[in-house]
C-alpha cells in the first residue's frame, strides 16, 4: 500500500526522537557560578569549623550562597550571582592563606535523573562560555642551568672513567667550572672534554694553587637550549591538557619565553591549575657511601618526614624524561604506588646502575619548582615581586634487591590523589624548564555579549522566517516541515551533547546554515509532489513519487556538502572546526528529519486514506 510505513519503522523514528529530546534537555539547565576550594596537595578538604567560617565570611559580605557541596578533596560553593565570583575568590584566598587553592568554576545543574542517563549539556567554546586562561613564563635561566647540570654529571663520569682526579664542579649562570689539583690533570681533562662537548668556549685559569677549567656555553648553544625548552614545554602542556579531557583547548607560544593556555568550559579549575602548572620531575640517585667525598654528595629530607634526611650522590641515574608510561595502583598493603615503564635508553641506564650496586640504597627524589610573592619597597611604594624557588624531597629510599630493567614501581606516596597526578605528569612528559604563572584568570565570551546575542538572534530570525515561508507556501505540508525543523534542531543539540562537540560562535553560523539545508530538502520534495499532481497522478501516487524521485537529488546535495565539512574539520583549526562539526551533524539530522520524519507525518495523515484535495 502506498504511503504506509511498517510499525517497526514508526517505532524506530519515535525512539530516536524521544532520545533526542531527552539528551537535549540538559541544555535547558544553565550552569551555576561557583568557587572551588581544595588543598594545595589535593588530598584534604576544609573541616566543619573552617567551612562555617567561610560561609559566615560570605554572608557578612552580602554574597548569596545557593548551595555548598563537599567531597573528600574539595568544597564547591554555588553562588546566586556570577558577578560575585571574583570577590568571593579574593575574600576566601585572603582568609584561607597558602594552604588552599580557591578557583572559579561553573558547576553543572543538570537534574540527577538526567545524569543517571549519562545526559549532559553540550560543551561551549571560549567565545560562548569562556573558561580559564593561564599565561605561563618559561624560566630560561633554569633551562640553561639544567643543561649544565646534565653536562656536569656526564663530565664527572667521564673523568672518573679516565681516572683523572678533580675536586668539584660549580655552575654560575652559563658557565661550568671544574676544579683540579694541578695543571696537568686540568689540561688532560680539557683535551678529553673538548672532543665530546663542542658547545663550550674553554678557558684555563688559576685560583691560588687550584687549577680551573672554565667552560662557557656559546650564544648559539644557549639559543638552542632555550628554543628546545619552549618547544618541549609546549608539547608537554598539550599532553597534560589532553589528559584533562578539555575540548578545543588552546596551547600556544607567546613571545620568546611565554605560553598561553586557554581551557574552554573547564569544570575543575583547581585540578587544571595543579596539573598544567606542575613542574614536578623525578630523579633516581644512589645513596652515597660513607667514604664518598662531600663534593660528590647532596643531603635531602623526606617529603613526609622533614626530620629524616639522606645523603645522595650528585650523579643522576635517570630522570622522569626516561619514563614511557606510568599508572597509579595500590600495593599489597593497600598503599598508593606508581607503576613505571622506561624507554630503551632509560632501561639500559637503570640496569647498568643497579646490577653493580645490589644491596645499596636507591632514592627517588621529587623536584618541584614553585614561586612565592614577596612585597618590597621601591621608591616609597609597595611592589609585589615574584620569587622562584625549588623544593626537593625524597619520596622513597629502598634497597636494590636485584638488577632493575624497564619496569618497576614507586612507593612512599602520601595519597591516591598524589599518585594519580604523579602518574599523569610522568605520562605526559616532564618539562624541559620550570614554568611560572604570570597571569591566571577566567575569561568571558571573547567576542562580547552583544555579538553572542546577535548570533542567537540570527538563529531565531532565520527560524521565524523559514517557518512563515513554509506555512504560507505549503500550508499543511509546511506544518509538517516546521515540526520536522524543530525536531532537527533538537536532534542536533542532542548529538552535540552526546558526542561532546564544542559549540562556538561560528558553530551557530553552522546551525543557521543547517536551517536552510533542512527546509531545502523539504522544498525539493514538496515541489516534486506539486509537479506530479500537475502531471495527472493521483494524490497518493504524487506523494509517493515526490519522495522517491527527490531522494537522489537530496542525498547527492547533502553528501557533497558533508564532504566539504569533513575537509574543513581535517585541515581547519579553532572556529573553522567548530563550524564544520555543527554543519556535519546538521546535515545528518536534516536528512533524517526531511526524509523519514516528514514522510512519517505525511503517511500518518494521508496514507491509505481517500483524499480529495491536498493542501500543498
Confidence of residue 1 (pLDDT cuts 50, 70, 90): low
What pLDDT score was predicted for residue 16? Answer: 93
Element (H, E) at 302: none
**pLDDT for the residue numbered 19:** 92
The model's pLDDT over 11-67, given as tens digits with 9 standing for 90+, comes to 999 999 999 999 999 988 877 888 888 776 555 678 888 888 888 888 888 888 888
pLDDT for residue 175:
92
Cα separation, 318 vs 350, whole angstroms? 7
Cell of 299: 643531603
Long-range contacts of 483-486 (CB under 8 A, 24+ apart): 483/597, 483/601, 484/518, 484/522, 484/593, 484/594, 484/597, 484/598, 484/601, 485/515, 485/518, 485/519, 485/593
Secondary structure class of 564 (helix, strand, coil): helix
Q: Which residue, 300, 416, 282, 286, is CA-closest to 340?
A: 282
Secondary structure (DSSP) of 68-121 = EEE-SSEEEEEES-GGGHHHHHHHHHHHHGGGEEEEEEEE----HHHHHTT--P
Count of other CB atoms within 10 angstroms of residue 414:
14
Edge-to-edge strand list for the sheet holding 407-410: 323-330, 336-342, 407-410
- pLDDT tens figures, 59-89: 888 888 888 888 777 888 888 877 787 788 8
Taking the C-alpha atoms of 185, 191, 197 and 203 in order, what is their torsion angle to the nearest 10 degrees? 70
Could you read off the pLDDT of 187-217 as tens digits, one per residue? 999 999 988 888 899 999 888 888 999 999 9
- CB neighbourhood size of 334 (10 A): 6
pLDDT for 23 equals 92
Going by pLDDT thresholds of 50, 70 and 90, the confidence category of residue 520 is: confident
Q: What is the dihedral of CA 456, 462, 464, 470, to 10 degrees?
A: -150
Q: Is the pLDDT of residue 388 over 80?
A: no
520-552 per-residue burial string, b: 16 or more CB within 10 A, e: under 16? ebbbbbbebbbebbeeebebbebbbbbbeebee
Instruction: Give burial (CB, 10 Å; 0-12/13-18/19+) of 34.
Output: buried
Q: Average pLDDT, stretch 376-392?
A: 76
- Residue 424: name the closest of 316, 274, 284 by CA: 274
What is the DSSP-derived secondary structure letter of residue 30?
A: P
**Grid coordinates of 156:** 664527572
What does the DSSP assignment read for 500-513? TPEE-HHHHHHHHH
What is the distance between the alpha carbons of residues 454 and 460, in angstroms, rounded to a whole number?
Answer: 10
Average pLDDT score over residue span 392-403? 82
Measured in degrees and rounded to the nearest 5, phi and psi for residue 178 equal: -115, 130
Which helix or strand (DSSP H or E) is residue 307 part of?
A: none
Query: Do 164 and 186 meet the contact criterion of CB atoms below 8 Å apart?
Result: no
| 226, 146 Cβ separation under 8 angstroms | no
Environment class of 5 (CB within 10 Å of its CB; exposed 0-12, middle 13-18, buried 19+):
middle
Q: Does residue 231 register a pLDDT over 80?
A: yes
Residue 310, number of CB atoms within 10 A of its CB: 18
Judged by phi (left if over 0) then psi (alpha if -120 to 50, else beta), residue 608 lies in: left
Cα within 13 Å of Cα(40), Cβ side: 8
Q: How confident is the model at residue 510 (pLDDT cuts 50, 70, 90)?
A: confident
Query: How far, in Å, CA of 105 to CA of 571, rounded?
Result: 32
Distance between CA atoms of 216 and 207, rounded to whole angstroms?
17
SS3 23: helix
CA distance 33 to 80: 7
> Quick one: average pLDDT of 366-378?
75
Angle between helices 7-24 and 598-606 (to 10 degrees): 130
Task: Please determine, for residue 589, whether its predicted confidence score (pLDDT) is greater than 70.
Answer: yes
- What is the Cα–Cα distance from 447 to 456, expressed in whole angstroms? 13
Condensed to tens digits (0 to 9), the pLDDT of residues 101-122 reads 777 777 888 888 888 888 888 8
Among 93-102, 238-247, 517-526, the range scoring the smallest mean pLDDT is 238-247
User: Residue 514: which of 420, 411, 600, 590 has the closest Cα?
Assistant: 590
pLDDT digits (tens, 9 = 90+) for 240-297: 776 665 556 778 888 888 898 888 766 556 667 766 766 667 788 898 988 888 878 8
Is 196 buried (19+), middle (13-18) or exposed (0-12) by CB count in 10 A?
exposed
* φ, ψ dihedrals at 503, nearest 5°: -90, 125
Distance of CA 101 to the CA centre of its chain: 19
Count of beta carbons in the 10 Å neighbourhood of residue 273: 20
- Per-residue pLDDT tens for 137-185? 888 888 888 888 888 888 888 888 888 888 888 888 889 999 998 889 8
Amino acid at each position: 500500500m502506498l504511503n504506509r510505513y511498517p510499525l517497526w519503522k514508526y517505532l524506530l523514528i519515535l525512539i530516536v526522537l524521544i532520545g533526542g529530546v531527552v539528551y537535549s534537555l540538559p541544555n535547558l539547565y544553565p550552569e551555576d557560578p561557583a568557587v572551588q576550594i581544595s588543598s594545595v596537595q589535593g588530598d584534604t578538604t576544609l573541616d566543619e569549623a573552617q567551612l562555617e567560617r567561610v560561609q559566615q565570611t560570605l554572608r557578612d559580605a552580602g554574597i548569596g550562597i545557593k548551595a555548598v557541596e563537599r567531597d573528600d578533596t574539595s568544597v564547591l560553593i554555588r553562588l546566586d550571582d556570577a558577578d560575585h565570583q571574583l570577590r568571593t575568590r579574593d575574600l576566601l584566598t585572603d582568609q584561607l592563606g597558602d594552604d588552599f587553592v580557591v578557583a572559579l568554576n561553573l558547576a553543572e545543574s543538570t537534574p540527577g535523573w538526567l545524569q543517571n542517563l549519562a545526559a549532559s549539556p553540550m560543551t561551549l567554546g571560549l567565545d560562548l562560555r569562556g573558561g580559564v586562561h593561564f599565561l605561563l613564563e618559561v624560566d630560561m635561566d633554569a633551562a640553561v642551568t639544567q643543561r649544565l647540570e646534565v653536562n656536569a654529571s656526564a663530565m664527572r663520569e667521564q673523568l672518573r672513567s679516565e681516572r683523572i682526579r678533580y675536586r668539584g664542579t660549580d655552575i654560575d649562570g652559563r658557565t661550568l667550572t671544574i676544579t683540579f689539583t694541578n695543571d696537568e690533570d686540568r689540561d688532560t681533562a680539557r683535551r678529553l672534554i673538548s672532543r665530546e662537548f663542542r658547545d663550550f668556549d674553554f678557558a684555563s685559569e688559576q685560583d691560588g694553587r687550584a687549577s680551573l677549567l672554565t667552560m662557557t656555553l656559546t650564544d648559539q648553544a644557549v639559543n638552542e637550549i632555550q628554543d628546545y625548552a619552549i618547544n618541549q614545554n609546549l608539547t608537554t602542556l598539550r599532553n597534560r591538557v589532553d589528559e584533562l579531557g578539555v575540548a578545543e583547548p588552546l596551547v600556544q607560544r607567546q613571545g620568546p619565553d611565554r605560553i598561553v593556555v586557554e581551557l574552554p568550559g573547564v569544570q575543575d579549575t583547581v585540578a587544571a591549575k595543579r596539573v598544567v602548572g606542575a613542574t614536578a620531575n623525578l630523579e633516581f640517585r644512589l645513596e652515597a657511601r660513607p667514604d664518598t667525598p662531600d663534593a660528590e654528595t647532596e643531603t635531602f629530607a623526606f617529603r613526609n618526614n622533614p626530620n629524616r634526611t639522606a645523603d645522595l650522590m650528585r650523579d643522576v641515574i635517570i630522570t622522569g624524561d626516561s619514563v614511557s608510561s606510568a599508572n597509579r595502583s595500590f600495593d599489597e598493603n593497600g598503599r598508593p604506588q606508581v607503576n613505571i615503564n622506561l624507554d630503551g635508553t632509560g632501561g639500559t641506564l637503570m640496569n647498568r646502575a643497579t646490577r653493580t650496586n645490589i644491596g645499596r640504597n636507591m632514592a627517588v627524589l621529587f623536584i618541584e619548582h614553585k614561586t612565592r610573592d614577596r612585597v618590597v619597597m621601591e621608591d616609597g611604594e609597595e611592589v609585589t615581586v615574584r620569587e622562584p624557588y625549588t623544593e626537593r624531597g625524597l619520596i622513597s629510599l629502598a634497597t636494590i634487591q636485584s638488577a632493575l630493567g624497564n619496569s618497576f614501581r614507586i612507593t612512599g606516596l602520601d595519597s591516591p590523589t598524589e599518585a594519580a597526578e604523579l602518574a599523569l605528569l610522568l605520562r605526559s612528559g616532564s618539562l624541559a624548564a620550570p614554568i611560572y604563572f604570570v597571569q591566571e584568570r577566567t575569561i568571558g565570551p571573547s567576542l562580547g555579549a552583544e555579538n553572542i546575542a546577535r548570533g542567537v538572534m540570527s538563529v531565531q530570525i532565520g527560524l521565524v522566517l523559514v517557518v512563515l515561508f513554509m506555512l504560507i507556501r505549503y500550508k499543511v505540508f509546511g506544518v509538517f516541515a516546521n515540526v520536522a525543523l524543530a525536531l532537527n534542531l533538537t536532534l542536533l543539540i542532542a548529538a552535540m551533547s552526546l558526542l561532546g562537540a564544542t559549540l562556538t560562535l561560528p558553530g551557530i553560523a553552522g546551525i543557521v546554515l543547517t536551517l536552510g539545508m533542512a527546509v531545502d530538502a523539504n522544498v525539493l520534495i514538496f515541489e516534486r509532489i506539486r509537479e506530479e499532481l500537475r502531471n495527472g497522478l493521483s494524490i497518493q501516487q504524487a506523494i509517493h513519487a515526490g519522495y522517491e524521485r527527490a531522494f537522489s537529488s537530496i542525498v547527492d546535495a547533502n553528501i557533497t556538502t558533508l564532504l566539504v565539512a569533513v575537509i574543513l574539520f581535517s585541515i581547519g583549526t579553532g572556529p573553522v572546526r567548530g563550524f564544520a562539526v555543527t554543519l556535519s551533524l546538521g546535515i545528518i539530522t536534516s536528512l533524517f528529519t526531511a526524509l523519514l520524519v516528514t514522510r512519517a507525518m505525511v503517511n500518518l495523515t494521508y496514507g491509505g486514506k481517500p483524499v480529495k484535495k491536498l493542501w500543498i
